Amino acid sequence: MAAQDGGKSEVGVNSSPALKPKDWVLLSLRLVALFATAAATIVMALNKQTNTVVVATVGNTPVKVAVTAKFQQTPAFVFFVVANGMASFHNWLMIVVELFGHKIDYKGLRLAIIAILDMMTVALASAGDGAATFMAEVGKNGNSHARWNKICDKFHAYCDRGSGALIASFIGLLILLIINVMSISKLLKPKHTYIGVP
């Protein structure tokens, strides 16, 4: 295979623009991951619920106070939105690079850069998911030892939307993990033939 390019090794510039079937699998996985993380970001970023609570009754008119639950009130959810936003950006960037970036010379490090970036995104997304999951768990069940009341019985829609965003981000994280494993195995497999190296 080294003689096909006239002696030029394949790791410099990728001359063939056509994608092989295995690349289509990776590309479609990245697309699904993009949708999942983008959905998680958007659903959590728009997560807000306002309840009006009757606090007191003055004469005949009840005094109402509006109590709002927003995602910005919990730092873990803010981190969740940021992490999933960055994961979506990474997925989008990888898709663009895969489709349109064949002319750029990566000096042979293309697979390594992709694998390392994938790994960093998996780390970020898993951190965001972990924090948001357990904060949601405290919100759902409360913590009787710390005297923290649950809030999900008063803000049903907020909790439901939050759970939806969490599930979407779990799916995105799982697919990101699969993509990362595929990138790493592409890196470790000796696909290129090297002149003189066993």
Partner 1 sequence: MITKTWKMIFTLLLRLLALTATLAATLVMVTAHDSTEVMNFTFKAKYSYEPAFKYFVVAEAIASGYSLIVLFLSSKNSFSRLVMILDMVVAMLLISSVSAAMAVAYVGKKGNIHAGWLPICGEVAKFCNQATGALISGFLAAIMYLLLLIYSLHDTAYWMS
The binding site for partner 1 (CB under 8 A) comprises: 11, 69-70, 73-76, 79, 107-109, 111-112, 115-116, 119, 122-123, 126-135, 137-139, 143, 145-149, 151, 177, 180-181, 184-185, 187-188, 190, 192
Query: By C-beta, is 133 or 163 nearer to partner 1?
Result: 133
Q: C-beta of 139: minimal distance to partner 1 in Å?
A: 7
Burial class (CB in 10 A: 0-12, 13-18, 19+), 170: middle
**Alpha-carbon separation of residue 136 from 4, 130, 146, 169, 195 (angstroms):** 57, 10, 16, 14, 55
Q: What residues have CB less than 8 Å from 45, skipping those under 6 apart?
A: 71, 81
Query: By C-beta, is 45 or 71 nearer to partner 1?
Result: 71
Q: C-beta of 173: minimal distance to partner 1 in Å?
A: 8
Give phi and psi for 93, each to the nearest 5: -65, -40
Maximum separation of any 2 CA atoms in the chain, in Å: 94
Q: C-beta of 49: minimal distance to partner 1 in Å?
A: 12
Query: By C-beta, is 96 or 112 nearer to partner 1?
Result: 112
Q: C-beta of 60: minimal distance to partner 1 in Å?
A: 29
Query: By C-beta, is 60 or 144 nearer to partner 1?
Result: 144
Question: Which uninterrupted H or E stretch holds 67?
Answer: strand 61-70
Q: C-beta of 162: minimal distance to partner 1 in Å?
A: 13
Q: C-beta of 6: minimal distance to partner 1 in Å?
A: 20
Measure the CA dihedral 78/137/54/75, to 10°. -20
Query: By C-beta, is 18 or 55 nearer to partner 1?
Result: 55
Query: By C-beta, is 8 or 59 nearer to partner 1?
Result: 8
Q: Where do the H-state alpha helices sit in the chain?
A: 21-45, 75-100, 110-141, 156-188
